[in-house]
């Protein structure tokens, strides 16, 4: 398996480090020609979703990536990546809009509202979760499966070929969520 990691902005290097620990081949997607390399799955990292959405369009990455996701390419969005995939965004504008969820941007506040906790993730048990200016999922559609909640707020979900987390699993020592995604993509 080979994973493409969107590397326009945000925590892409940390995802690469997790994939290295798992022994999974990966590369960074920075420009249109990078999409010429074959890949089996995609990671949309945390960062600033508005800036990422603009760069996706400016660099002519938006249409081919959205088409690939709609055609079934497995995709994992963390934090801003969750917002990029959301069909509806409170406090923002949808980007790919491929997942039937509504996300609330910066729902946990500014940088000072960042926190770490451990909660149950369906199928994985209790895992560490790091939230940095994180969104959460306000609502889900009928095909979306809720995987984790913190204080009654949805922080992880899946739908068909898409997995999203409001938290940053790449910023913990746990490999569980990335392995979950790789199993889903296989």
Letter string b/e over residues 1-22, b meaning 16 or more CB atoms within 10 A of that residue's CB: eebbbbbbbbbbebbbebbeee
Say which of 14, 15, 95, 170 is annotated catalytic: 170
Structure tokens belonging to residue 47: 């960062």
Q: Rg of the Cα trace of the chain?
A: 15
Q: Which two tokens stand for residue 186?
A: 């296989």
178 in active site = no
Helix-helix angle 12-22:176-185, to 10 degrees? 80
Catalytic residue among 14, 95, 102, 168: 168
Instruction: Given the residues 79, 95, 102, 178, select the one marked as catalytic.
Output: 79
- In which residue are the tokens 């940390």 written? 14
Contact 160, 104 (CB under 8 A): no
Task: Find all residues with CB under 8 Å of 92, minimum gap 6, and list them.
Answer: 49, 50, 83, 103, 105
95 among known catalytic residues: no
Q: Is 79 an active-site residue?
A: yes
Question: Which residue in the block uniquely carries the two structure tokens 């996701």?
Answer: 69
Give the residue numbers annotated as catalytic, written as ranges.
79, 168, 170
């Amino acid at each position: 398996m080979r994973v493409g990691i969107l590397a326009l902005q945000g925590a892409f290097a940390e995802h690469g480090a997790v994939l290295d620990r798992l022994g999974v081949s990966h590369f960074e997607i920075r420009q249109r020609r990078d999409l010429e390399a074959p890949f089996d799955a995609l990671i949309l990292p945390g960062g600033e979703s508005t800036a990422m959405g603009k760069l996706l369009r400016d660099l002519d990455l938006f249409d081919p990536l959205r088409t690939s996701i709609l055609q079934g390419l497995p995709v994992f969005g963390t934090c801003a990546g969750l917002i990029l995939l959301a069909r509806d965004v409170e406090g923002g504008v949808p980007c790919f809009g491929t997942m039937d969820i509504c996300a609330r941007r910066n729902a946990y506040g500014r940088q000072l509202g960042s926190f770490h906790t451990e909660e149950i993730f369906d199928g994985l048990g209790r895992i560490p979760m790091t939230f940095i200016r994180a969104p959460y999922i306000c609502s889900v559609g009928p095909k979306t499966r809720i995987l984790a909640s913190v204080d009654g707020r949805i922080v992880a979900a899946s739908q068909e070929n898409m997995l999203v987390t409001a938290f940053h699993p790449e910023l913990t020592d746990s490999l569980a969520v990335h392995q979950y995604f790789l199993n889903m993509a296989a």
